[in-house]
Structure 1
Amino acid sequence: MPSQDEAEAVNEDDSPPPVPPRAAPQQNSPASAAVPERRVKCVLVGDGADEFERLRPLCYRDADVFLLCYSVVLPSSFRSVTDRWAPEVHRLCPGVPIILVGTQCDLREDVQVLIRLADSQEKPVSGDDARLCARSIGAVTFAECSALTQKNLKEVFDGTILASMQHAEEAAWPRRHTLREKTPDKIKQLSETWWRKLSCIQSFDLQ
């Protein structure tokens, strides 16, 4: 996944939620995940080109969780997590949970990849280094996955959706509580049809 991805959950009746203007051409990949008593449908949208850097924050609006992703065999992408992406998220969306995700873990022991990294005096990003990074940026969790082998892929998205739901519910609770205090006889039970917005930043540096 060599681009910034934003996953947006849509209503259970398949109608899309309001979407802010996009900064770049979109690449949509439908996906879904089951969570307790609900099914969340997501659309992954890629728009992480550097030339749209000033417009990219428009996609962060109302985000409930961020995935900061790097390739375990591209150390420069790992460094970008702390140098670029984490500071940007903390500045623009303070308090929104972050999940650190290492991608392409199937290539960690690939001989050709190891040779290429050695030629550049580099090595794959270790799990220990990633955990230290996760703590330093205040991530709620860390995981490694592979799109090729599907290792941990479902767990990453399930965990992301659950983190999103928890954050959204915590943010909504004070508002609902205030409404109940003001108009207790007029408040109706919230509908089970809902949507959540997920943002995924890919910190790949391909140059």
Structure 2
Amino acid sequence: MVSTPTIDVAIADDQPLVRSGLRMIVEGEADLRIVGEAADGAEAAALVEAAEPDVLLLDVQMPGVDGLAAMERIAGCGAATRVLMLTTFDLDEYVYRAMRAGASGFLLKDMPGEDIVTAIRQAARGADALLAPAVTRRLLDRFACAPSRPVIAGLDRLTARELEVLGLIGRGRSNAEIARELFIGETTVKTHVARILMKLGLRDRVQAAIVAHEAGLG
């Protein structure tokens, strides 16, 4: 019987009760374990460097160094840790900026525990993860309505097929769904996704989806 790899999780929130609640949710799952907690952004960045968790749950609003500044520090050091932002409001502009910097998604603090667990597992899977939880999709949709479209460096390096795939990533399609829609193999889709990320200098599908929306492709 093949055992499921354990996902190391860290929590950063200035409210002890929130940290306690998240710890209980995580520790209730056999494949998840807590490897550290932080009360502000500076501690969170140091924790990522020291413990190298697979996933960090990072609060947006904290005293001192906030979650956005912490996300930028974490992204700047090249850590492999996937970051899920924690927020009270599902359309927090700071969360969008954090995702643009490399966060893998965001969670509402009052989400059901099973949704938080699902998001952690999806984030840990990396580039092939979907854009769950659903609130991430609403955030992307909001910014897709912006009247101006920035010039996205590198789009001219993509082939016509890669632009098609990028647009479908922006609509939240999985590799299997893209394969069915374009009548190509799933392995071919994975190759296209990898090339898109490489050509645009992106970390994962979430950043690719943001680029697709900003470019009007999603």
Q: TM-score range by the shorter chain?
A: 0.3 to 0.5
TM-score of the two chains, using structure 1 as the length reference? 0.38
Which has the higher relative contact order, 1 or 2, with Cα contacts under 8 A spaced 6 or more apart? 1
TM-score of the two chains, using structure 2 as the length reference? 0.36
